[in-house]
Structure 1
Amino acid sequence: MTKVELTRFRIRKGKEAKAQEWMDFLNEHHTDTVATMTGEKMYVESVFKEKNPDGYTYFYWYSVQGEGGNAVEESESYIDKKHTEYWDECIDTEYKPVDMELEESLIAPAFEKAIEKDA
């Protein structure tokens, strides 16, 4: 079964530049970052940034994933280790992440077949 998620995370005050460094790191290591997705059964992962009038920066994580993937925290990949370091430093744990409620998800049949084949 395919899981589609969108979650809002708040960046700690004063860590905005570090959070941007994090996204830059993932983009600069795109090939190695994408390579980690197979084991996680992650098919699509996108991050959006919002600079909110409340003075905080928020990251919105959008993903399409299968079941039974490896947890990023258990990975030996240098990408995932660095990703977890940035996460621990930048994500505001005082803020409860907001999981958006999925109302509709359209996945083109060709992509759905590829996902099912991988599962």
Structure 2
Amino acid sequence: MTRVELTRFRIKKGKEDKAQEWMDFLNSHHEDTVGTMAAEKMYVETVFAEKATDGYMYFYWYSIQGEGGQSVEESENYIDKKHNEYWDECIDETYKPIDMKLEESLIAPKINKIIEEIK
């Protein structure tokens, strides 16, 4: 089964620049970052940033993922280790992440066929 998720995470006050550094790190190591996805059975992963009117920065994590993938916390890959360091420093654990309710997911048949083949 494929999971489609969108979750909102709050960035700690004063860590906005560090959070941007995190995204810059992932983008500047794009090939290696994409290389971590197979073990996680991650098919699509997208992050959006919001500077909200409440004065906080939020990251919205959108993903399409298969079941049984390796957790990023279990990985020995340098990208995942750095990702976890940024996570621990930037994500506000006092804020309960908001998991958006999936109402409709449309995946083009050609893309869905590819996902099914790599499961």
Would you call these one fold, judging by a TM-score over 0.5?
yes
Q: Distance in 1 between matches of 2:110 and 2:81?
A: 33
Q: Distance in 1 between matches of 2:39 and 2:76?
A: 11
Q: Distance in 1 between matches of 2:32 and 2:14?
A: 28
**TM-score scaled by structure 1?**
0.99
Identity of aligned residues (%): 76
Residue in structure 1 matched with residue 31 of structure 2 by the alignment: 31
Shift of residue 118, structure 1, vs aligned partner = 1.2
Residue in structure 2 matched with residue 53 of structure 1 by the alignment: 53
Structure 1: 5+ residue runs without aligned partners? none
The one-character-per-residue Cα deviations of 1:12-60 (angstroms, maximum 9, x if unpaired) are 0000000000000000000000000001000000000000010000000
Aligned length: 119
Q: Distance in 1 between matches of 2:108 and 2:38?
A: 20
Which segments of structure 1 move beyond 3 Å, counting only runs of 4 or more? none
Structure 2: 5+ residue runs without aligned partners? none
Q: Distance in 1 between matches of 2:110 and 2:36?
A: 22
**TM-score scaled by structure 2?**
0.99
Equivalent position amino acid for 1:86 in 2:
Y
Equivalent position amino acid for 1:106 in 2:
L
Residue in structure 2 matched with residue 4 of structure 1 by the alignment: 4
SS of the residue corresponding to residue 13 of structure 1 reads coil
Q: Distance in 1 between matches of 2:71 and 2:60?
A: 19
Q: Distance in 2 between matches of 1:110 and 1:41?
A: 18
Shift of residue 111, structure 1, vs aligned partner = 1.1
The one-character-per-residue Cα deviations of 1:45-90 (angstroms, maximum 9, x if unpaired) are 0000000010000000000011110000001100000000000000
Shift of residue 117, structure 1, vs aligned partner = 1.2
